[in-house]
Amino acid sequence: MHLTKKIKINPTEEQVDVLWQLSEQCRCLYNFALAERKEAWKTEQRSVKYVEQQNQLPTLKEKFPEYNIVYSKVLQSVLKKLDASYKSFFSLWKNGDKSARPPKFRSGKYFITLVYNQSGFKIKDGKLSFSHKVNEIPLSFEVGNAFDLLAIKQIEIYNDDPYKGRGKFFVSITYEETPITEYVDNDLYQAIDLGITKIVTALNTQGKFFEVKTPRTDKYWNSKIDLIKSRRDHCKEGSKRWNRLHKTYRKIEAKKSNQIKDFQHKLSKTMIENTKANTIIVGDLSVKEMAQSKKLKGKRKRSQNRSTQNQGYLSRFIEFLAYKAEFIGKRVIKIDESYTSKECYVCGKRHEMPLYERTMKCDCGNVIDRDRNSAINIMKRFLSQNALWTGYQKFSDNLRQTGLLMDTCILQISK
């Protein structure tokens, strides 16, 4: 399994200059490759593939020697990132998300993340060094002795405010870790529906529910963020007042993000350690698909859409669950959860329900919270897709015998 550690670095002025020179060449390559893709589509209706652009790198470096200062795999990672962005755009567009937009060109103020994949770096005696050909100034940073004996897979250098280049620099180190125990299917399963008002609605094969309400960290901080942004936007960009307000804005955003991340770490650890199930099933539904498509009015529209978009961290929560589970011999499996909250788990009838309607009322007499309905359907879908008919029958029997037995857990985090 692969784990990632984020470490803040403090480069000197000379090292910052080197990082920006490397980023600038990566930015030029990114814009060049993007322009080529746009032109090919405009004139020939043809999609340019990653391999095609990668094969052009040697010729490009001969024609423009300035690209030689950047390690080869870093340039390849720039093209891979662009290719992934295009694939994401086309996927969203084909799935009906007409608000999706193709990748944009990057301005000279944008810091491109430098990705060193398996080579181009060295860690010795707690010091991390990178390969480059800008000048004689070494790119070396203290990261501690913990990584000296680990199998390092990838290292990224990035700026936490890439659009303005005013942020702090970090390295993200991805390394290989051996799980404590191997995964064994113990015929116990837990299905999880991730939502807006309740971040987790979990159901096990005994028919018992476990719910965690979403802490309103975002609601606490959003009013402060809106106030600072409003004041900042009335100032001239780059002025002393604008810079001061922008710095305050970034601090508040960081506090909000750190509180949410801390809550997710604590919750994922608690869930993994306290479930007897070795197999955990979660719905694989993107946040974009959760966005409100029906036009609402007034505060309901603003509150609903903002709340939905703020749940972009749900995918990160799944990642936390996955690596914590793998480390102790459990497994997280993602399945398609389309219509699980709209389809009655009793009779299978599908209902049209906007997101603000939290209770399903079916003609068959079933009245249930939509998140619990979704969790039941996720469990049923997993068991049926994997032909676990014995488990499916036991789950159905337990559900009938226990009813909707539920434990409610509300975890609070400090503001």
Q: pLDDT at residue 264 above 50?
A: yes
Q: Structure tokens of 215?
A: 């802490």
Please identify, among 151, 176, 201, the residue that sits at the C-terminal boundary of a domain. 176
Q: Is residue 62 part of a domain?
A: yes
Residue 401 — very low, low, confident or very high, per pLDDT cuts 50/70/90? low
Please identify, among 176, 207, 233, the residue that sits at the C-terminal boundary of a domain. 176
What does the pLDDT average to over 342-370? 85
- 92 and 211, same structural domain? no
- 112 and 89, same structural domain? yes
Instruction: Give the tens place of pLDDT for each residue, 243-261.
Output: 899 889 988 988 988 898 9
- 203 and 160, same structural domain? no
Whose structure tokens read 């309400």? 213
Residue 93 — very low, low, confident or very high, per pLDDT cuts 50/70/90? confident
Q: List 156's β-bridge partners, or say none.
A: 115, 172
Return d(Cα 58, Cα 47) in angstroms, integer: 21
Q: What pLDDT, on the 0 to 100 scale, is given for residue 170?
A: 94
- 282 and 142, same structural domain? no
Q: What pLDDT, on the 0 to 100 scale, is given for residue 311?
A: 55
Looking only at the bridges linking them, the beta strands covering 405-409 and 367-369 are unpaired
* Residue, of 303 and 51, whose pLDDT is higher: 51
The model's pTM: 0.76
CATH number at residue 211: 3.30.420
* Residue, of 208 and 400, whose pLDDT is higher: 208
Q: Which helix (H) or strand (E) holds 213?
A: strand 208-213
DSSP string covering 69-137: GS-HHHHHHHHHHHHHHHHHHHHHHHTT-TT-----PPPTT--PPEEEESSSEEEETTEEEE---S-S-
What does the pLDDT average to over 116-139? 88
- 157 and 265, same structural domain? no
Q: pLDDT at residue 410 above 50?
A: no
Distances (CA, A) of 141 to 15, 99, 160, 169, 207: 10, 42, 17, 11, 52
Range in 42-51, 129-138, 330-339 with the lowest mean pLDDT: 129-138
- 120 and 152, same structural domain? yes
What does the pLDDT average to over 333-352? 87
- 205 and 163, same structural domain? no
Q: Is residue 415 part of a domain?
A: no
Q: Is residue 249 part of a domain?
A: no
Q: pLDDT at residue 7 above 90?
A: yes
Range of the structural domain that residue 367 is part of: 189-215+257-409
Contact 30, 78 (CB under 8 A): yes
- 274 and 151, same structural domain? no
Please count the CA atoms within 13 angstroms of the CA of 247 that sit on its side-chain side.
9
Return d(Cα 337, Cα 372) in angstroms, integer: 13
Please count the CA atoms within 13 angstroms of the CA of 382 that sit on its side-chain side.
28
Looking only at the bridges linking them, the beta strands covering 114-117 and 151-159 are antiparallel
Q: Is residue 398 part of a domain?
A: yes
Return d(Cα 12, Cα 96) in angstroms, integer: 47
Contact 281, 193 (CB under 8 A): no
Please list, in sequence order, all residues whose beta carbon lies within 8 angstroms of the beta carbon of residue 85, skipping any fewer than 6 positions away. 102, 103
Give percent of the chain with pLDDT exceeding 70.
88
Return d(Cα 367, Cα 347) in angstroms, integer: 12
Return d(Cα 182, Cα 81) in angstroms, integer: 33
Return d(Cα 401, Cα 403) in angstroms, integer: 6
- 120 and 69, same structural domain? yes
Range in 120-124, 182-186, 201-205, 390-394 with the lowest mean pLDDT: 390-394
Q: pLDDT at residue 292 above 50?
A: no
- 301 and 201, same structural domain? yes
Q: Is residue 220 part of a domain?
A: no
Return d(Cα 399, Cα 345) in angstroms, integer: 11
- 201 and 154, same structural domain? no
Contact 346, 334 (CB under 8 A): no
Contact 206, 398 (CB under 8 A): yes
Sign of CA dihedral 90, 92, 94, 96: negative
Return d(Cα 277, Cα 206) in angstroms, integer: 11
- 196 and 103, same structural domain? no
Nearest to 118 by CA among 148, 73, 159: 73
- How many structural domains comprise the chain? 2
